[in-house]
Structure 1
């Protein structure tokens, strides 16, 4: 079809032009599909019709082009003129489609420029599906101070099958003993009575340690020890009076029960346990230690024994089962080492004589620690 000779005459669009513009407008809304359409293609076709016969040529023939094309602005001006005429000729819908395609093309160019200037961003993290909730355990329901941390060892699991060990109730038993020991903390009774003094009490305790037997003595043994100063009926009556005064509540928590429990937590040998027992019995004659709680005294004796034998400090397992941190025990540990170092040995030496025997590994002959070295060891642990 030959192009019209009339210059710049508006021509009506074909019937399918409206449908084409509608499709192009829909493609412009679609996004990526519009980027593949060249918005200048219909304009270049229209321009080629007018460029076949240039008005600037005196013969009116088609303008020839060089091999490299026109490098002047004439080509650009013609394209711009063609664009203006296309805007005038196109109906409103075609104009909207052309604008949409132009905006999409400009957005593509600007996006490429921005990607060159700005560094590439990190890829988005992969989507992680939510983990289903786990049932709440018994340990999570307990208060924070009673929760078992992963570093704590279960010291009772090895004896769960032993019916005589009561391993299933061991933890609760010692928690109950910790509650009961608060009821038996002795007040400063020495200032409220005039019958005995501190020295008399020390002599009595030393004598009790000396006459102790492994098997419970019978009444005749007590009468013999007293040199028949009392009759059998008087001894039994006094025992009944004491039990009635105590309301038969004689299950008093003592340090030795806690000491065996804590030594089990530390996996201590019998020799280390015996050394801790020796330190604990050394306090029996001293009135100042009578008001210490049994569990704290037992924990301090074991910590000093571990330190003296260079077996490590207070582990998380010991802290969990004893309820005491290492800092809670440091003052009492220093006092125990001072007692072991400076207690006179010329009198009231029943405890030292007892633990100097080979049956007790001769732990009484162990050299006490230097106070400065003990301070450094406790601080660094």
Structure 2
């Protein structure tokens, strides 16, 4: 606040005297504003009001300093005067718990619901910890999504249908898938497209009887549908006509496409082996590019063979491919608690399917159907098909 001007002492005494007379003659003395600075010293032997107030404040401070306090949950960082360490400390900060993000809370709840937190930490690895800040990874829901995939995979699964096809057999189907693998690589399509193409072919053949000359038409029409579903830039109908040596007209391809979609009731959102492969490779934890290529090599060998598709569901084919790949590359242990948790399969449950995949691997070099073998013998796929098959599973 603004301080008032200090009047000369003789003028001040005159005013005081005049005011005392007006106040019934009572002996009063004007108390100056203690906020003002005193320009003149008080008479000797007497203390000014400012000195009295300062002395009183000093006593109160000494009492506060001498009085012991209960320890508080605070962290002292410095005092008011950094040069004097003996002075009392005033600046303090409170200890607070770090705020947890909404994503981490949902992730913890999801893992608790799955029973993951009840397992020892050294046995099960958190494979989604690096993606916790990646919105596209949806780590809050990924476990529930794959539970739903496993519950619904049997709805689109095909069973033995060759007995209902009088003009085609399992060998013809393998030849078709081998050729579709070459077309898939020629067009440089996404891996999801190949798995969905094979799935559409098998589901359609399980519902509709066809002639032998129509088998290739079903294959290119199924790939056309899969490309429209998975690809950003799908090949045109004329591209499929040319790559089949113009064995079919454009109108025939479009008619076959409509027939397939009607028979499948436009139900194309299904968990193929590829859906599980991506998750199970991630659960392998120590996976690298060689491991990934080996898994896809074995999985594509499996889907080319009719017995694999009929006997085993997509999730088991994917898990068996990971298990067989770890055995082939000598990844010890061959099966971990993390893989068992995320796949839902034990090592014993996968052994038969894995043996079948390894047998396909051992026979791939001598087989007449070499599309998958050649694909994975190239350098861009790590030449994994040239590696020796897993002896532990062949014995």
TM range (shorter): 0.5 to 0.7
Q: Deviations over 1:150-183 (max 9, x none)?
A: 3322222321222222222211211111112111
Q: Deviation at 1:261? A: 0.7
Shift of the 166–245 alpha-carbon distance from structure 1 to 2, 3 Å rule, reads same
Q: Which residue among 307, 311, 321 is the counterpart of 2:342?
A: 321
Cα RMSD of the aligned pairs, angstroms, is 2.3
| Residue 378 of structure 2: aligned partner | 357
Moved over 4 A (4+): 137-144
Q: Deviation at 1:353? A: 0.7
| Residue 245 of structure 2: aligned partner | 227
Q: Which residue among 325, 332, 337 is the counterpart of 1:305?
A: 325
The answer to whether the 8 A contact 2:295-2:321 is kept is yes
Cα separation, 1, equivalents of 2:235 and 2:291:
29
| Residue 210 of structure 1: aligned partner | 182
Shift of the 347–253 alpha-carbon distance from structure 1 to 2, 3 Å rule, reads same
Cα separation, 2, equivalents of 1:369 and 1:211:
29
Q: Which residue among 155, 169, 172 is the counterpart of 2:144?
A: 172
Q: Deviation at 1:138? A: 5.0
Q: Deviations over 1:130-158 (max 9, x none)?
A: xxxxxxx95798587x7752332222232
The answer to whether the 8 A contact 1:299-1:329 is kept is yes
Give the alignment of 1:70-89 within 5 angstroms.
none
Give the alignment of 1:1-381 within 5 angstroms.
142=113, 148-150=118-120, 151-212=123-184, 213-215=187-189, 216-267=234-285, 268-291=287-310, 292-312=312-332, 313-343=334-364, 345-370=366-391, 373-374=392-393
TM-score by length of 2: 0.56
Cα separation, 1, equivalents of 2:112 and 2:140:
19
Q: Deviations over 1:14-66 (max 9, x none)?
A: xxxxxxxxxxxxxxxxxxxxxxxxxxxxxxxxxxxxxxxxxxxxxxxxxxxxx
Shift of the 339–232 alpha-carbon distance from structure 1 to 2, 3 Å rule, reads closer
Cα separation, 1, equivalents of 2:367 and 2:112:
56
Point out where structure 2 has 5 or more consecutive residues left out of the alignment: 1-107, 190-233
Bigger Rg, which one:
1
